[in-house]
Amino acid sequence: MSNHLKDIILKIWRQNGPQDSGRFETYKVDEISDEASFLEMLDYLNEQLITEGKEAIVFDHDCREGICGTCSLMINGQAHGPERSTATCQLHMRKFSSGAEIVIEPWRAAAFPIIKDLMVDRSAFDRIIESGGFITSVTGGAPDANLIPIPKPVADSAMDSAACIGCGACVAACPNGAANLFTSAKIAHLNSLPQGQAERYKRAESMIEKMDEFFGSCTNHGECESACPKEISIDVIALANADYRKAKLKNKKFISRI
Amino acid sequence: MSTQLNSKIPAGPLGDKWASYKEDVKLVNPNNKRKFKVIVVGTGLAGASAAATLAELGYQVDAFTFHDSPRRAHSIAAQGGINAAKNYQGDGDSVHRLFYDTIKGGDFRSREANVHRLAEVSVNIIDQMVAQGVPFAREYGGLLDNRSFGGAQVSRTFYARGQTGQQLLLGAYQQLARQIGLGGVRLFNRTELVDVVTVEGRAAGIVVRDLMTGEVTSHAAHAVVLATGGYGNAFFLSTNAMACNVTAAWRAHRKGAYFANPCYTQIHPTCIPQSDEFQSKLTLMSESLRNDGRVWVPKNPDESRRVVDIPEEDRDYYLERLYPSFGNLAPRDISSRAAKRLVDKGQGVGPLKNGVYLDFADAIARLGKDVVEERYGNLFEMYERIAGENPYDMPMRIYPASHYTMGGLWVDYELMTSIPGLYAAGEANFSDHGANRLGASALMQGLSDGYFVLPYTIGNYLAPMLNKAIPSVDHPEFKAAELAARERFNGYLNIGGTRSPDWFHREVGKIIWDYCGMERTEQGLEKALSELPALYDEFKKDLRVTGSGESLNQTLEKAGRVDDFFQLGMLMCRDALERQESCGGHFRSEYQTEEGEALRDDDKFCHVAAWEWSGDPMTAKRNVEELEFENVHLATRSYK
Ligand SMILES: Cc1cc2nc3c(=O)[nH]c(=O)nc-3n(C[C@H](O)[C@H](O)[C@H](O)COP(=O)(O)OP(=O)(O)OC[C@H]3O[C@@H](n4cnc5c(N)ncnc54)[C@H](O)[C@@H]3O)c2cc1C
Ligand code: FES
């Protein structure tokens, strides 16, 4: 049966729009079931605020199943909070205890401007995908799906990289605000598959250069990997960098054959 | 008198209809396509695939989503898989078999011609998605792997771990992103449709609200596609993402689009039971788990031994007992009701006695833990995170929850609603699943609509409009709709009552769940139809929305969505009351066989109910489209 936590103190970042300077405000949740999720605790607080005639705290969320990548939040300085490989929406109050003081902030990164309170604008990620994170294949022209056998280990490792949910925790956790894990995961997914070969080097080149327009540079801290709710391995960065370097070689005709 | 609806089904033998439609359809010459603007609202599987394909063809496309990115659409959450009649396993599958399974699964309440087309194009979908790099599961030899799903006796489901929807949506999103990058599609994110505009009976465009600034503006186009998903959140607790709502479809309905079969909702048998009063949504455990998990409850309602100590003879594997040939893979509606009956009888398990077991002990013994982990590892992890119990050691606890809505905007064979130029695709339409949808068929339908159907049918409507002027956003109809939308949102802010939109959503959801959920009765539905209008009046008087309309305000967004759920809820109950039979997900206790199965009335109800707006959902007019079955025999569904 569920237990109840008491007297949770929340220090939450409030910012009334992109231009506002923002500040922390302190709230108290008197009692909450430990079966509640972290976001359900915020729902409950918001209900309380509305009852008091105050404006609810804005935060992004949708699926609450750890798959859509909409939720965010720095919880006590950690992207998605204390539980490994868990997005904020899958974090439960049973991970906290009565009397806990919890600091909640938005993702902090130059490329993710704050929209309001805890919500940020992650559309720079979309710009990266638009620059090359796809395989060109016009609807209707595809050959039979079983025409190209793909060894299971290749398909499996492509899937490991493709599991990225685009939440931005990697950027928020990185001291440089770099997006190499996000960008490289997509490059690794598509570049490892036979279907992705035709655009392989062009893809690596355009995506990495688009990324550099918005994000800081990677200095191999590895914080991204530990913050990633899907445990995407930092190895993808090496793979993407290797393809990027090859793309920069002059003899592109040659490398297109290796 | 009710209006007879024309579904525009092409003549000819069933298997030739789609091919002959495509041969006869009017075409727009490639250079002329850019003269047409098409609005696509919704960028889930159906919307993203439609927008990308229309842009590839050369149309100017404006795509709208209330999400921050198309990649967030609810399609992302689909776990189990997608069906296709590829017969890669050589187990006797065919287009006809997929067609028949879907018609039968839908309890003979869908259109033959639509379903056949769906089965035909299913094979193209897999080709298309593989070409885009979707990493479907593979066998060691490198070919695609399949699993089986409820309601089928062949293995035709393609999957990508337990994240099939994610991988398919990312595929469609990437194709859309390519078009955005190329300038073929303009994307309006964090922008919500708040009204549909018609001029002289045709769709002329939409009115939207920018969620970041509250600004209300209009967009005009030659045609409008709504691919805005289902309305399962009418129940408040459901497996749908938090933001899923009916607003786009409902606002179109209020402008003249018929709403078909709103009472056909699907309750999914394998969700994690509710654990406390704060619960904001329910989590689905993929139905694919029923391939290897066995469903049971203790025979004794007062069973007090630890679950692993309960011997075989004291367990009731009720699905295997009641439906020997389908067993644990009986269709969703049947499995859900079976679970509800046992829980109602007090045989439920777990602290609140509100679930049944889904047990993997036999599968682990037979296949080994590694294989089970390979197949379902991420689902097991998700379960453990939410329920706090490890399914490798303890059976999962599951219970049915609202999951999918078969009802939706009425569309003809071309996916056009009753408003010319307004189309509906994906879960937002009612088209292919009849009274019950089979697992792994929604992803198939969304992609079929978006990739392979709409791109043809829209041309047929646009071709005659070439070089004709369309109403601009300065037209009085647009101005009037903008004004009404502004007044509506200001209205919510100005009520100044005491209850939040979420409070009302919970209450309205509870009424709909209690009386229009898994089991419905005349008495219950009448009760709901007296309680809902009363609560709706209270909503209009006692709602409290804090904050302002000029900056991002999630409470205000919610208020608009709950308003529409109220109205839809009334229509759902009216539809359920009028349909005096049981079929698929619509189970009226008064109409059941001696064995407790759904009892259809083909003489009176072999039709689609398509509701017409009259100014109030309580007086909406019920039109019918008769369903004609020329190729299948109307049988009593049996999964024994
Ligand atoms: C948990 C879960 C698991 C599932 N698993 C499976 C499965 O294994 N196999 C299967 O076949 N099906 C499955 N389904 C069903 C399937 O996922 C959905 O039916 C399908 O993805 C719906 O796709 P869609 O494109 O129609 O809508 P959605 O993906 O819901 O997209 C709707 C889009 O419309 C936009 N939108 C909505 N309203 C507005 C508005 N007013 N203004 C602007 N934009 C708007 C949203 O932003 C979004 O982009 C599952 C469903 C759930 C809930
Ligand atoms: S809300 Fe979807 S991942 Fe957290």
- Say how many Å lie between the CA of residue B466 and the centre of ligand 1: 33
Closest C-alpha among A113, A131, A130 to residue A122: A113
Q: How many CB atoms lie within 10 A of CB A3?
A: 12
Predicted pLDDT of residue A142: 96
Percent residues over pLDDT 70 in chain B: 99
Here the tokens at position A138 are 């016009």
Amino acid at B150: G
Number of H helices, E strands in chain B: 18, 19
pLDDT bucket at B162, cuts 50 / 70 / 90? confident
B593 burial (CB, 10 Å; 0-12 / 13-18 / 19+) is: exposed
Predicted pLDDT of residue A254: 60
- Say how many Å lie between the CA of residue B44 and the centre of ligand 1: 6
Question: Tens digit of pLDDT for each residue in B435-470?
Answer: 999 989 999 999 999 999 999 999 999 999 999 999
Predicted pLDDT of residue A245: 94
**So what CATH class is B268-403?**
alpha beta
Cite the active site residues of B.
332
Arithmetic mean of pLDDT, B350-361:
94
Q: Does residue A250 register a pLDDT over 90?
A: no
Q: What is the CATH number of domain B475-606?
A: 1.20.58.100
Arithmetic mean of pLDDT, B537-553:
97
**Domain boundaries, given as residue ranges, for chain B:** 268-403, 475-606
A81 lines ligand 2 (CB under 6 A): no
Arithmetic mean of pLDDT, A9-18:
97
In order of start, what are the domains of chain A with their CATH numbers? 5-115 (3.10.20.30), 122-257 (1.10.1060.10)
Number of residues assigned to chain B: 640
d(CA A97, CA B409): 48
Q: Does residue A153 register a pLDDT over 90?
A: yes
Contact B500, B555 (CB under 8 A): yes
Q: Does residue B517 register a pLDDT over 60?
A: yes
pLDDT bucket at B276, cuts 50 / 70 / 90? confident
CA-based end-to-end distance of chain B: 41
> Ligand 1: which atom is nearest the Cα of residue B192?
42
d(CA B339, CA B285): 15
Predicted pLDDT of residue B636: 81
- DSSP-assigned letter for residue B9: P
Q: Does residue A257 register a pLDDT over 80?
A: no
Mean pLDDT for all residues in chain A = 95
Q: Does residue B397 register a pLDDT over 80?
A: yes
Arithmetic mean of pLDDT, B294-320:
95
Buried b / exposed e along B307-326 (16+ C-beta atoms within 10 A): beebeeeebbbbbeebbeeb
- Interchain CB distance below 8 Å, A193 and B67: no
pLDDT bucket at B330, cuts 50 / 70 / 90? confident
- Interchain CB distance below 8 Å, B552 and A115: yes
Q: Does residue B240 register a pLDDT over 80?
A: yes
Q: Does residue A177 register a pLDDT over 80?
A: yes
In B406-477 the beta strands, taken as DSSP E runs, fall at 408-409, 422-424
Contacts of B37 (CB under 8 A, 6+ apart): B59, B60, B61, B62, B220, B221, B222
Q: Whose CA is nearest to atom 53 of ligand 1?
A: B240
Q: Which ligand is nearest to the CA of B241?
A: 1
- Interchain CB distance below 8 Å, A143 and B166: no
Q: How many CB atoms lie within 10 A of CB B498?
A: 13
Predicted pLDDT of residue B2: 57
Closest partner residue to B77 among A67, A122, A163, by Cβ? A67
Chain A contacts of B82, Cβ < 8 Å? none
Question: Tens digit of pLDDT for each residue in B81-125?
Answer: 999 999 999 999 999 999 999 999 999 999 999 999 999 999 999
Percent residues over pLDDT 90 in chain B: 90
From A159, which residue of chain B is nearest by alpha-carbon distance?
B135
Predicted pLDDT of residue B3: 67
Going from the C-alpha of B458 to that of each of B8, B29, B37, B117, B180, the distances in angstroms are 14, 13, 11, 16, 21
pLDDT bucket at B637, cuts 50 / 70 / 90? confident
Arithmetic mean of pLDDT, B627-637:
91
Question: Tens digit of pLDDT for each residue in A73-90?
Answer: 999 999 999 999 999 999
- Interchain CB distance below 8 Å, A133 and B498: no
From B165, which residue of chain A is nearest by alpha-carbon distance?
A67
Q: How much helix, strand and coil, in percent to the nearest 5, is found in chain A?
A: 40, 15, 45
Here the tokens at position A115 are 């929209």
A177 lines ligand 2 (CB under 6 A): no
Predicted pLDDT of residue A253: 60
- For residue B195, the distance in angstroms to the closest alpha carbon of chain A comes to 23
Q: Does residue B4 register a pLDDT over 80?
A: no
Arithmetic mean of pLDDT, A95-106:
97
Contact B96, B119 (CB under 8 A): yes
